[in-house]
Amino acid sequence: MRANLSRARAAMPGAKVWAVVKADAYGHGLLNAMRGLAFADGLSLVELDRAVQLREAGWRKPLMMMEGMFDPADLDTMAGLALQPVVHNDEQLAMLASFAGPALDVHLKINTGMNRLGFRPERLHEVFGRLRGMRAVRTIALLTHFANADNPQSAPSAELQWQRLREQCAGLDAEISLSNSAALLHQPAIRCDWVRPGVMLYGGSPGGGTAASFGLRAAMTLQSRLISVQALQAGDSVGYGSVFTADRPMRIGIVACGYADGYPRHAPTGTPVLVDGVRTRLLGRVSMDMLAVDLTPAPGAAVGTPVVLWGDGLPIDEVAEAAGTISYELMCAIAPRVRREVRGDLSIMAAATGHA
Ligand SMILES: *Cc1c(COP(=O)(O)O)cnc(C)c1O
């Protein structure tokens, strides 16, 4: 994570970094990410209870709440812990207008083409003015989010979205946060005060190239081992539905990992798996606790042989693509029963957050 954060910084020198840690830091564990990303300028997430946890764990730098408050009561917590909410709709404006607690730093979200959250660009000046008039508001920053930063063929382009924002914010004294991972890696012309990388910090590609080609390193390795080896005859099939049938005698291995661990059930035969460091393929249907692999390329494999499902030596993006999804979804889906082992220099991490 630390190396990938440096990579994100290098993509836009001088910009400050909101490291995005929503969804339990994309499945990596929020407090692990707090340490791994300790040199970020701020952390950005959506879950209020998790922001409280970050403060309790000693994170003193800024925290941005990317969906803002859901209820008026959220403002008490946010003001008390100096959390910085995004304000993206009129309901939230009304909550802020009637909030009597301490003032907050807020982020005004402009919808420049994603059409999920935010005020249309024509309303920027009006809403900015209203926020400036509220006693519950201390500073106002601006943000927008790009829909197609990884793909120049899709409209609206990141350039066009950026332009829509710039047209409206001329003359306003406000910091702007823009680039997600895709924009950082594909849109070198876009400049802003703060960037908001997520998946690249964890070593996933946001699209348009491999993680390795972007100089990113896997933060997560999902590993297990073989718990059974079977010798199939031609005509034997494996697993539920018997969707894979051997056309010749072959050895297969059974790996202790299934969809209840977060491995995608819809990964088909052929999805890459590493057995003892050797690349092979998934066979048949993934079950709840197990999956089957072809041991033809790893004749020495036996019960106990280590298996990597993704991570070190096997890019998560390749597994995601085989399964018809994206690395983001695989990372987030790691199940609670999977045993976590954290590696890294915890003393450096502690030094950077100021806490052991
Ligand atoms: C999730 C998210 C990001 C990070 O996106 P990545 O593609 O993971 O880099 C940035 N900004 C907002 C508003 C987000 O929701």
Residues 61, 202, 240, 259: which is the catalytic one? 240
pLDDT band at 353 (very low <50, low <70, confident <90, very high): low
**pLDDT single digits (tens) 299-349:** 999 999 999 999 999 999 999 999 999 999 999 999 999 999 999 876 665
* Residue identifier of the C-alpha nearest atom 6 of ligand 1: 198
Given a contact cutoff of 8 angstroms between Cβ atoms, the answer to whether 248 and 231 are in contact is: no
The reply to whether 240 belongs to the active site is yes
Using the atom order of ligand 1, give the atom closest to the CA of residue 22. Answer: 1
Cα–Cα distance measured from residue 145 to residue 212, given in angstroms and rounded to the nearest whole number: 25
Task: Say how many Å lie between the CA of residue 297 and the centre of ligand 1.
Answer: 39
Please state the pTM of the whole predicted model. 0.96
Mean per-residue pLDDT, 172-193: 97
Give me the pLDDT at residue 144, please: 98
Give me the pLDDT at residue 241, please: 96
Specify the 3-state DSSP secondary structure of 344.
coil
Residues 22, 202, 263, 328: which is the catalytic one? 22
**pLDDT single digits (tens) 123-164:** 999 999 999 999 999 999 999 999 999 998 999 999 999 999
In Å, the largest CA–CA distance within the chain is 77
Of 5, 24, 44, the one to substitute when testing ligand 1's pocket (max ligand atoms within 8 A of C-beta) is: 44
Give me the pLDDT at residue 356, please: 40
Give me the pLDDT at residue 354, please: 54
Domains by residue range for the chain, with CATH: 2-203 (3.20.20.10), 220-350 (2.40.37.10)
Give me the pLDDT at residue 349, please: 59
* Amino acid at position 50, single letter: R
Q: Render 163-199 in DSSP notation, one character per residue.
A: HHHHHHHTT----EE---HHHHHH-TT---SEE---G
Mean per-residue pLDDT, 283-287: 98
Backbone region of residue 180 per phi and psi (left: phi > 0; alpha: psi in -120 to 50; beta: other values): beta
* Residue scoring higher pLDDT (356 or 180): 180
Determine what percent of the chain is predicted with pLDDT higher than 90. 95
**pLDDT single digits (tens) 227-236:** 999 999 999 9
Per-residue exposure over 275-307, b if at least 16 CB sit within 10 Å of its own CB, e if not: bbebebbbbbbbbebbbbbbbeebeebeeebeb
**pLDDT single digits (tens) 64-104:** 999 999 999 999 999 999 999 999 999 999 999 999 999 99
Question: 42 has which bridge partners?
Answer: 18
* Amino acid at position 133, single letter: G
Q: Render 196-260 in DSSP notation, one character per residue.
A: ---GGGGT---SSS-TGGGT---S--EEEEEEEEEEEPTT-EESGGG-EE-SS-EEEEEES--GG
Mean per-residue pLDDT, 347-355: 59
Cα–Cα distance measured from residue 304 to residue 347, given in angstroms and rounded to the nearest whole number: 33
Cα–Cα distance measured from residue 78 to residue 51, given in angstroms and rounded to the nearest whole number: 9
pLDDT band at 222 (very low <50, low <70, confident <90, very high): very high
Backbone region of residue 75 per phi and psi (left: phi > 0; alpha: psi in -120 to 50; beta: other values): alpha
Cα–Cα distance measured from residue 102 to residue 80, given in angstroms and rounded to the nearest whole number: 8
Task: Say how many Å lie between the CA of residue 18 and the centre of ligand 1.
Answer: 10
Per-chain mean pLDDT for the chain: 96
* Terminal Cα-to-Cα distance of the chain (whole angstroms): 18
Mean per-residue pLDDT, 243-250: 98
Say yes or no to pLDDT of 355 above 60.
Answer: no
Cα–Cα distance measured from residue 299 to residue 338, given in angstroms and rounded to the nearest whole number: 28
Give residue for tokens 């943000």. 143
Give me the pLDDT at residue 347, please: 65
Give me the pLDDT at residue 248, please: 98
**pLDDT single digits (tens) 195-207:** 999 999 999 999 9
Residues with CB under 6 A from ligand 1: 20, 22, 66, 145, 180-182, 196-200, 206
Say yes or no to pLDDT of 179 above 60.
Answer: yes
